[in-house]
Amino acid sequence: VTAAVDVLGWAERAAAVGVALSAVEWLALGDLWEEGGPCAWGILRLRSRAADSGRFSAARARLFGTFGTRTILWAQLAGCVAVLLPTSPDWHRAALCTTVVALLALRRRLDGGNDGSDQLLALTLGASLLARVAGTPHAAALVLWFLAGQGCLAYATSGWGKLRQRDWRSGAVLRDITSSTLFGSPRIGARLQRRPPEAAWLSRFVIATFVLFPLVFVLPRPLALGLLGAAAAFHIGTAVVMGLTRFPWAFFATYPAVVYCAHL
Amino acid sequence: LLIRARGRRVTTDWRIVSRAATRRWWHAVFNPASKRAQVVETLQTELRRDLADHALHLRNAGTATATATYPSLAYLALLNWATTQTDDRWPQLQFAIVAENAHGNDALDALSDWHERCP
Protein backbone atom coordinates (compact mmCIF):
# COMPACT_ATOMS: atom_id res chain seq x y z
CA VAL A 1 0.00 0.00 0.00
CA THR A 2 2.86 2.39 0.77
CA ALA A 3 4.08 2.05 -2.82
CA ALA A 4 0.69 3.27 -4.03
CA VAL A 5 1.65 6.93 -3.62
CA ASP A 6 4.71 6.47 -5.84
CA VAL A 7 2.71 4.56 -8.45
CA LEU A 8 0.06 7.30 -8.43
CA GLY A 9 2.85 9.79 -9.07
CA TRP A 10 3.68 8.00 -12.34
CA ALA A 11 0.04 8.06 -13.42
CA GLU A 12 -0.11 11.79 -12.66
CA ARG A 13 3.05 12.50 -14.64
CA ALA A 14 1.77 10.69 -17.74
CA ALA A 15 -1.59 12.46 -17.49
CA ALA A 16 0.12 15.83 -16.94
CA VAL A 17 2.06 15.41 -20.19
CA GLY A 18 -1.20 14.73 -22.06
CA VAL A 19 -2.99 17.69 -20.51
CA ALA A 20 -0.02 19.98 -21.18
CA LEU A 21 -0.07 18.85 -24.78
CA SER A 22 -3.76 19.67 -24.99
CA ALA A 23 -3.15 23.17 -23.59
CA VAL A 24 -0.35 23.82 -26.09
CA GLU A 25 -2.57 22.61 -28.93
CA TRP A 26 -5.36 24.97 -27.89
CA LEU A 27 -2.87 27.84 -27.64
CA ALA A 28 -1.75 27.03 -31.19
CA LEU A 29 -5.39 27.09 -32.35
CA GLY A 30 -6.08 30.65 -31.22
CA ASP A 31 -7.80 31.47 -34.52
CA LEU A 32 -10.62 29.13 -33.47
CA TRP A 33 -11.47 30.53 -30.03
CA GLU A 34 -10.11 34.07 -29.97
CA GLU A 35 -12.31 37.06 -30.73
CA GLY A 36 -13.54 36.77 -34.32
CA GLY A 37 -13.10 32.99 -34.49
CA PRO A 38 -16.01 30.58 -34.83
CA CYS A 39 -15.62 29.41 -31.22
CA ALA A 40 -15.24 32.89 -29.72
CA TRP A 41 -17.17 33.19 -26.47
CA GLY A 42 -19.24 35.97 -28.06
CA ILE A 43 -20.71 33.28 -30.30
CA LEU A 44 -20.63 30.19 -28.10
CA ARG A 45 -22.37 31.94 -25.22
CA LEU A 46 -25.46 32.02 -27.42
CA ARG A 47 -25.81 28.29 -26.96
CA SER A 48 -27.78 28.69 -23.77
CA ARG A 49 -29.87 31.38 -22.15
CA ALA A 50 -27.99 31.00 -18.86
CA ALA A 51 -24.62 31.60 -20.50
CA ASP A 52 -25.91 34.46 -22.62
CA SER A 53 -28.08 36.45 -20.24
CA GLY A 54 -28.05 34.60 -16.90
CA ARG A 55 -26.99 36.07 -13.56
CA PHE A 56 -23.29 35.30 -14.07
CA SER A 57 -23.17 35.97 -17.80
CA ALA A 58 -21.00 39.11 -17.47
CA ALA A 59 -18.48 37.36 -15.19
CA ARG A 60 -18.44 34.37 -17.48
CA ALA A 61 -17.88 36.61 -20.51
CA ARG A 62 -14.81 38.11 -18.80
CA LEU A 63 -13.52 34.68 -17.76
CA PHE A 64 -14.09 33.06 -21.14
CA GLY A 65 -13.03 35.98 -23.33
CA THR A 66 -9.79 35.84 -25.30
CA PHE A 67 -7.60 37.03 -22.43
CA GLY A 68 -9.37 34.89 -19.82
CA THR A 69 -9.23 31.73 -21.93
CA ARG A 70 -5.56 32.28 -22.72
CA THR A 71 -4.83 32.78 -19.01
CA ILE A 72 -6.64 29.54 -18.11
CA LEU A 73 -4.66 27.66 -20.76
CA TRP A 74 -1.35 29.02 -19.48
CA ALA A 75 -2.39 28.18 -15.90
CA GLN A 76 -3.17 24.63 -17.02
CA LEU A 77 0.20 24.37 -18.72
CA ALA A 78 2.04 25.76 -15.69
CA GLY A 79 0.15 23.36 -13.40
CA CYS A 80 1.16 20.40 -15.56
CA VAL A 81 4.82 21.43 -15.59
CA ALA A 82 4.73 21.76 -11.80
CA VAL A 83 3.17 18.28 -11.48
CA LEU A 84 6.08 16.91 -13.50
CA LEU A 85 8.70 18.59 -11.32
CA PRO A 86 9.88 17.09 -8.02
CA THR A 87 8.27 19.40 -5.47
CA SER A 88 7.00 19.21 -1.90
CA PRO A 89 3.63 17.47 -1.32
CA ASP A 90 1.94 20.84 -0.73
CA TRP A 91 3.23 22.32 -3.98
CA HIS A 92 2.35 19.13 -5.81
CA ARG A 93 -1.21 19.27 -4.48
CA ALA A 94 -1.50 22.94 -5.44
CA ALA A 95 -0.22 22.23 -8.94
CA LEU A 96 -2.65 19.34 -9.34
CA CYS A 97 -5.50 21.50 -8.08
CA THR A 98 -4.62 24.31 -10.54
CA THR A 99 -4.55 21.84 -13.42
CA VAL A 100 -7.86 20.25 -12.51
CA VAL A 101 -9.64 23.59 -12.00
CA ALA A 102 -8.33 24.83 -15.36
CA LEU A 103 -9.43 21.56 -16.98
CA LEU A 104 -12.94 21.92 -15.58
CA ALA A 105 -13.18 25.55 -16.70
CA LEU A 106 -12.01 24.68 -20.19
CA ARG A 107 -14.53 21.87 -20.43
CA ARG A 108 -17.19 24.59 -20.26
CA ARG A 109 -15.35 26.90 -22.63
CA LEU A 110 -13.78 24.63 -25.28
CA ASP A 111 -15.81 21.46 -25.07
CA GLY A 112 -16.12 21.11 -28.85
CA GLY A 113 -12.50 20.11 -29.34
CA ASN A 114 -12.31 17.53 -26.58
CA ASP A 115 -12.44 13.81 -27.18
CA GLY A 116 -12.24 10.60 -25.17
CA SER A 117 -8.60 11.16 -24.32
CA ASP A 118 -9.41 14.50 -22.69
CA GLN A 119 -12.16 12.86 -20.63
CA LEU A 120 -9.82 10.12 -19.45
CA LEU A 121 -7.08 12.65 -18.61
CA ALA A 122 -9.54 14.74 -16.60
CA LEU A 123 -10.74 11.65 -14.74
CA THR A 124 -7.19 10.58 -13.94
CA LEU A 125 -6.06 13.94 -12.61
CA GLY A 126 -9.37 14.58 -10.81
CA ALA A 127 -9.18 11.23 -9.01
CA SER A 128 -5.49 11.79 -8.22
CA LEU A 129 -6.32 15.15 -6.68
CA LEU A 130 -8.83 13.46 -4.38
CA ALA A 131 -6.15 11.00 -3.26
CA ARG A 132 -3.66 13.83 -2.67
CA VAL A 133 -6.21 15.80 -0.66
CA ALA A 134 -6.92 12.72 1.47
CA GLY A 135 -3.16 12.29 1.76
CA THR A 136 -3.10 8.65 2.84
CA PRO A 137 -1.59 5.61 1.08
CA HIS A 138 -4.95 3.87 1.31
CA ALA A 139 -6.62 6.69 -0.61
CA ALA A 140 -3.88 6.44 -3.24
CA ALA A 141 -4.45 2.67 -3.49
CA LEU A 142 -8.20 3.20 -3.84
CA VAL A 143 -7.67 5.72 -6.66
CA LEU A 144 -5.29 3.30 -8.40
CA TRP A 145 -8.01 0.63 -8.35
CA PHE A 146 -10.42 3.18 -9.78
CA LEU A 147 -7.99 4.14 -12.56
CA ALA A 148 -7.25 0.49 -13.37
CA GLY A 149 -10.99 -0.20 -13.59
CA GLN A 150 -11.54 2.91 -15.69
CA GLY A 151 -8.79 1.88 -18.11
CA CYS A 152 -10.28 -1.60 -18.47
CA LEU A 153 -13.75 -0.16 -18.95
CA ALA A 154 -12.50 2.24 -21.64
CA TYR A 155 -10.77 -0.56 -23.57
CA ALA A 156 -13.60 -3.04 -23.18
CA THR A 157 -16.37 -0.65 -24.27
CA SER A 158 -14.31 0.54 -27.22
CA GLY A 159 -13.56 -3.08 -28.19
CA TRP A 160 -17.18 -4.23 -27.90
CA GLY A 161 -18.32 -1.20 -29.88
CA LYS A 162 -15.98 -2.17 -32.71
CA LEU A 163 -16.77 -5.86 -32.45
CA ARG A 164 -20.45 -5.19 -33.05
CA GLN A 165 -19.80 -3.35 -36.32
CA ARG A 166 -19.31 -5.43 -39.43
CA ASP A 167 -17.20 -2.73 -41.12
CA TRP A 168 -14.74 -2.83 -38.22
CA ARG A 169 -14.53 -6.61 -38.31
CA SER A 170 -13.95 -6.62 -42.06
CA GLY A 171 -11.25 -3.94 -41.85
CA ALA A 172 -13.22 -1.48 -43.99
CA VAL A 173 -13.17 1.20 -41.30
CA LEU A 174 -9.42 0.85 -40.81
CA ARG A 175 -8.86 1.11 -44.58
CA ASP A 176 -11.02 4.24 -44.74
CA ILE A 177 -9.39 5.93 -41.76
CA THR A 178 -5.85 5.29 -42.96
CA SER A 179 -6.82 6.58 -46.41
CA SER A 180 -8.27 9.84 -45.09
CA THR A 181 -6.37 13.09 -45.49
CA LEU A 182 -6.44 14.13 -41.87
CA PHE A 183 -6.00 10.86 -39.96
CA GLY A 184 -4.37 8.77 -42.64
CA SER A 185 -1.04 8.03 -44.18
CA PRO A 186 -0.85 7.76 -47.99
CA ARG A 187 1.60 4.86 -47.82
CA ILE A 188 -0.24 2.79 -45.22
CA GLY A 189 -3.65 3.69 -46.61
CA ALA A 190 -2.65 2.56 -50.10
CA ARG A 191 -1.15 -0.65 -48.73
CA LEU A 192 -4.28 -1.57 -46.79
CA GLN A 193 -6.50 -0.70 -49.76
CA ARG A 194 -4.41 -3.06 -51.90
CA ARG A 195 -4.47 -5.82 -49.29
CA PRO A 196 -7.88 -5.97 -47.55
CA PRO A 197 -7.02 -9.16 -45.57
CA GLU A 198 -4.19 -7.30 -43.84
CA ALA A 199 -6.61 -4.56 -42.79
CA ALA A 200 -9.12 -7.17 -41.59
CA TRP A 201 -6.60 -9.05 -39.45
CA LEU A 202 -5.15 -5.83 -38.06
CA SER A 203 -8.66 -4.69 -37.11
CA ARG A 204 -9.44 -8.03 -35.48
CA PHE A 205 -6.17 -7.90 -33.55
CA VAL A 206 -7.05 -4.44 -32.21
CA ILE A 207 -10.59 -5.56 -31.32
CA ALA A 208 -9.30 -8.68 -29.56
CA THR A 209 -6.72 -6.68 -27.59
CA PHE A 210 -9.37 -4.21 -26.42
CA VAL A 211 -12.05 -6.77 -25.58
CA LEU A 212 -9.61 -9.02 -23.73
CA PHE A 213 -7.84 -6.20 -21.90
CA PRO A 214 -9.71 -6.65 -18.58
CA LEU A 215 -8.18 -10.16 -18.41
CA VAL A 216 -4.85 -8.57 -17.36
CA PHE A 217 -6.06 -9.17 -13.80
CA VAL A 218 -6.34 -12.93 -14.18
CA LEU A 219 -3.88 -13.90 -16.93
CA PRO A 220 -0.38 -15.19 -16.13
CA ARG A 221 2.17 -12.37 -15.94
CA PRO A 222 3.81 -12.81 -19.41
CA LEU A 223 0.43 -12.90 -21.16
CA ALA A 224 -0.86 -9.91 -19.19
CA LEU A 225 2.25 -7.91 -20.03
CA GLY A 226 1.83 -8.94 -23.67
CA LEU A 227 -1.72 -7.58 -23.63
CA LEU A 228 -0.50 -4.35 -22.10
CA GLY A 229 2.27 -4.15 -24.70
CA ALA A 230 -0.18 -4.75 -27.57
CA ALA A 231 -2.45 -1.94 -26.32
CA ALA A 232 0.55 0.37 -25.92
CA ALA A 233 1.73 -0.48 -29.45
CA PHE A 234 -1.74 0.38 -30.75
CA HIS A 235 -1.58 3.85 -29.16
CA ILE A 236 1.93 4.52 -30.45
CA GLY A 237 0.77 3.35 -33.89
CA THR A 238 -2.24 5.69 -33.90
CA ALA A 239 -0.01 8.57 -32.77
CA VAL A 240 2.48 7.98 -35.57
CA VAL A 241 0.00 7.16 -38.34
CA MET A 242 -3.08 9.16 -37.35
CA GLY A 243 -1.55 11.94 -35.28
CA LEU A 244 -3.72 11.13 -32.23
CA THR A 245 -1.16 12.52 -29.83
CA ARG A 246 -3.10 12.70 -26.58
CA PHE A 247 -4.50 9.16 -26.52
CA PRO A 248 -1.18 7.47 -25.64
CA TRP A 249 -0.70 9.73 -22.61
CA ALA A 250 -4.30 9.33 -21.48
CA PHE A 251 -4.13 5.52 -21.58
CA PHE A 252 -0.51 5.22 -20.45
CA ALA A 253 -1.58 7.15 -17.34
CA THR A 254 -3.79 4.20 -16.38
CA TYR A 255 -1.03 1.58 -16.92
CA PRO A 256 0.80 2.16 -13.61
CA ALA A 257 -2.54 1.56 -11.89
CA VAL A 258 -3.14 -1.62 -13.93
CA VAL A 259 0.37 -2.89 -13.19
CA TYR A 260 -0.06 -2.13 -9.49
CA CYS A 261 -3.50 -3.67 -9.12
CA ALA A 262 -2.76 -6.76 -11.24
CA HIS A 263 0.56 -7.31 -9.40
CA LEU A 264 2.50 -7.42 -12.68
CA LEU B 1 14.91 4.48 -49.51
CA LEU B 2 17.64 1.90 -49.37
CA ILE B 3 15.24 -1.02 -49.49
CA ARG B 4 13.34 0.40 -52.44
CA ALA B 5 16.54 0.94 -54.42
CA ARG B 6 16.72 -2.86 -54.98
CA GLY B 7 20.37 -2.97 -55.79
CA ARG B 8 20.47 0.14 -57.93
CA ARG B 9 22.95 2.76 -56.92
CA VAL B 10 21.22 5.65 -55.22
CA THR B 11 22.40 8.80 -53.61
CA THR B 12 20.55 9.50 -50.40
CA ASP B 13 20.06 13.06 -49.33
CA TRP B 14 20.05 12.51 -45.60
CA ARG B 15 18.82 16.04 -45.01
CA ILE B 16 15.58 15.14 -46.82
CA VAL B 17 15.31 11.82 -44.99
CA SER B 18 15.87 13.43 -41.62
CA ARG B 19 13.43 16.24 -42.40
CA ALA B 20 10.73 13.72 -43.38
CA ALA B 21 11.39 11.61 -40.28
CA THR B 22 11.31 14.67 -38.04
CA ARG B 23 8.02 15.74 -39.59
CA ARG B 24 6.51 12.27 -39.05
CA TRP B 25 7.64 12.01 -35.43
CA TRP B 26 6.65 15.58 -34.68
CA HIS B 27 3.20 14.75 -36.07
CA ALA B 28 3.06 11.86 -33.57
CA VAL B 29 3.94 14.14 -30.67
CA PHE B 30 2.18 17.40 -31.42
CA ASN B 31 -0.75 17.61 -33.81
CA PRO B 32 -3.21 20.47 -33.27
CA ALA B 33 -4.90 19.51 -36.56
CA SER B 34 -6.67 16.61 -34.83
CA LYS B 35 -8.17 19.01 -32.28
CA ARG B 36 -9.20 21.39 -35.05
CA ALA B 37 -10.88 18.50 -36.86
CA GLN B 38 -12.71 17.59 -33.67
CA VAL B 39 -14.00 21.16 -33.35
CA VAL B 40 -15.14 21.23 -36.96
CA GLU B 41 -16.86 17.88 -36.60
CA THR B 42 -18.68 18.95 -33.44
CA LEU B 43 -19.83 22.19 -34.99
CA GLN B 44 -20.90 20.54 -38.22
CA THR B 45 -22.89 17.92 -36.33
CA GLU B 46 -24.66 20.55 -34.26
CA LEU B 47 -25.26 22.73 -37.29
CA ARG B 48 -26.73 19.79 -39.17
CA ARG B 49 -29.01 18.98 -36.26
CA ASP B 50 -30.08 22.62 -36.06
CA LEU B 51 -30.81 22.70 -39.76
CA ALA B 52 -33.01 19.65 -39.39
CA ASP B 53 -34.85 21.36 -36.52
CA HIS B 54 -35.41 24.46 -38.61
CA ALA B 55 -36.68 22.47 -41.53
CA LEU B 56 -39.17 20.77 -39.22
CA HIS B 57 -40.31 24.09 -37.80
CA LEU B 58 -40.76 25.51 -41.28
CA ARG B 59 -42.75 22.52 -42.45
CA ASN B 60 -44.96 22.41 -39.37
CA ALA B 61 -45.61 26.06 -38.71
CA GLY B 62 -45.33 27.71 -42.09
CA THR B 63 -43.03 30.57 -42.89
CA ALA B 64 -45.06 33.25 -41.11
CA THR B 65 -44.95 31.87 -37.60
CA ALA B 66 -41.91 29.65 -37.47
CA THR B 67 -39.45 30.24 -34.68
CA ALA B 68 -35.92 29.01 -34.40
CA THR B 69 -34.59 26.86 -31.60
CA TYR B 70 -32.33 28.89 -29.34
CA PRO B 71 -29.05 26.93 -29.43
CA SER B 72 -28.95 26.99 -33.19
CA LEU B 73 -28.06 30.67 -33.21
CA ALA B 74 -24.56 29.98 -32.02
CA TYR B 75 -23.90 27.99 -35.12
CA LEU B 76 -25.41 30.21 -37.71
CA ALA B 77 -22.25 32.28 -37.50
CA LEU B 78 -20.23 29.27 -38.57
CA LEU B 79 -21.88 29.03 -41.91
CA ASN B 80 -19.00 30.36 -43.96
CA TRP B 81 -16.61 28.20 -42.12
CA ALA B 82 -18.22 24.84 -41.56
CA THR B 83 -20.45 24.45 -44.58
CA THR B 84 -20.68 25.90 -48.05
CA GLN B 85 -22.83 28.90 -48.77
CA THR B 86 -24.07 27.46 -52.00
CA ASP B 87 -26.15 25.05 -49.99
CA ASP B 88 -29.85 25.26 -50.70
CA ARG B 89 -30.57 25.44 -46.96
CA TRP B 90 -29.21 28.99 -46.84
CA PRO B 91 -32.62 30.71 -47.27
CA GLN B 92 -33.98 28.62 -44.41
CA LEU B 93 -31.15 29.76 -42.20
CA GLN B 94 -31.68 33.39 -43.11
CA PHE B 95 -35.32 32.97 -42.23
CA ALA B 96 -34.42 31.28 -38.97
CA ILE B 97 -32.32 34.26 -37.94
CA VAL B 98 -35.09 36.71 -38.70
CA ALA B 99 -37.66 34.53 -36.97
CA GLU B 100 -35.62 34.25 -33.78
CA ASN B 101 -37.62 36.08 -31.17
CA ALA B 102 -35.63 36.27 -27.95
CA HIS B 103 -32.06 37.06 -28.85
CA GLY B 104 -32.32 37.95 -32.48
CA ASN B 105 -30.11 41.00 -32.22
CA ASP B 106 -27.27 39.11 -30.59
CA ALA B 107 -27.45 36.44 -33.21
CA LEU B 108 -27.55 38.91 -36.07
CA ASP B 109 -24.61 40.81 -34.60
CA ALA B 110 -22.61 37.64 -34.22
CA LEU B 111 -23.42 36.60 -37.75
CA SER B 112 -22.64 39.95 -39.30
CA ASP B 113 -19.39 40.19 -37.32
CA TRP B 114 -18.37 36.83 -38.63
CA HIS B 115 -19.32 37.71 -42.20
CA GLU B 116 -17.30 40.92 -42.08
CA ARG B 117 -14.21 39.13 -40.85
CA CYS B 118 -14.54 36.20 -43.18
CA PRO B 119 -12.15 36.29 -46.15
- Tell me the C-alpha to C-alpha distance, in Å, between residue B12 and each of B5, B22, B25: 10, 16, 20
Which site among B3, B39, B83, B112 would you substitute to test the A interface, given the most A Cβ atoms closer than 10 Å to its Cβ?
Answer: B39
Per DSSP, A112 falls in state G
User: For A188-205, how does the pLDDT look when each residue is reduced to its tens digit (9 = 90+)?
Assistant: 889 999 999 999 999 999
Q: How far is A232 from chain B (nearest CA, A)?
A: 14
Cβ–Cβ under 8 Å, residues A240 and A248:
no
Chain B contact for A26 (CB, 8 A cutoff): yes
How many A-B residue pairs are in contact by the CB < 8 A criterion?
90
Q: How far is B96 from chain A (nearest CA, A)?
A: 15
The verdict on a CB contact (< 8 Å) between B106 and A22 is no
Nearest-by-Cβ selection for A36 from B24, B71, B117: B117
Q: What is the average pLDDT score of chain A?
A: 91
pLDDT on residue A185: 83
Compare all CA atoms of chain A with the CA of B108 and give the residue at the minimum distance. A43
Chain B contact for A43 (CB, 8 A cutoff): yes
> The complex's ipTM?
0.76
pTM for the full model?
Answer: 0.78
pLDDT at B58 over 60: no
Mean pLDDT over B47-72 rounds to 48
Compare all CA atoms of chain B with the CA of A237 and give the residue at the minimum distance. B28
- d(C-alpha A221, C-alpha A219), whole Å: 6
DSSP string, B11-56: ---HHHHHHHHHHHHHHHH--HHHHHHHHHHHHHHHHHHHHHHHHH
The verdict on a CB contact (< 8 Å) between B35 and A22 is yes
Tally of residues, chain A: 264
Query: Percent of chain A scored above 70 by pLDDT?
Result: 98
The verdict on a CB contact (< 8 Å) between A32 and B36 is yes
Stated as kind and residue range, the H or E segment containing A180 is none
Burial of A89 (0-12, 13-18, 19+ CB in 10 A): exposed
Chain B contact for A46 (CB, 8 A cutoff): yes
Helices and strands, number each (H, E), in chain A: 16, 0
The verdict on a CB contact (< 8 Å) between A25 and B24 is no
CA A9 to chain CA centroid, Å, is 17
Which site among A19, A26, A43 would you substitute to test the B interface, given the most B Cβ atoms closer than 10 Å to its Cβ?
Answer: A43
pLDDT on residue B88: 43
pLDDT at B53 over 80: no
pLDDT band (50, 70, 90) for residue B10? low
pLDDT at B40 over 50: yes
- Tell me the C-alpha to C-alpha distance, in Å, between residue A138 and each of A82, A89, A141, A147, A151: 24, 16, 5, 14, 20
CB within 8 A of B47, min separation 6: which ones?
B72, B75, B78, B79, B82, B83
